[in-house]
Amino acid sequence: MTSLGRIFLAVLVVATLALGASALWRFWRGRTAPPPPAAVADSTQAGMRAVTLWFADESGDSLVSDGKKGRVLTFRIRKA
């Protein structure tokens, strides 16, 4: 066997050992527990916001608000 053949054989053996070590390392690292799933936004619990509904008064010249708590506020509209 020539010296060039021995060098080629040595490089081939080293490359094979490196690939084998790399595959073994990936296999060993893959056996660890997977990371927990990322937290996702929960769209089922929306934040509560106060809402005021405005209705026309019976007379038609003012607005009446109907809040969530049952209070009734009346605002008169100024006529110019």
**pLDDT at 13 (0 to 100):** 95
What is the pLDDT at residue 21? 94
At residue 73, the pLDDT reads 55
> What H or E segment, with its residue span, contains residue 54?
strand 53-56
Q: What is the pLDDT of residue 10?
A: 93
> What does the pLDDT look like over 4-50, one tens digit per residue?
889 999 999 999 999 999 998 888 777 667 778 877 766 665 666 66
Instruction: Report whether 54 contacts 39 (CB < 8 A).
Output: no
Residue 57 has pLDDT above 80, yes or no: no
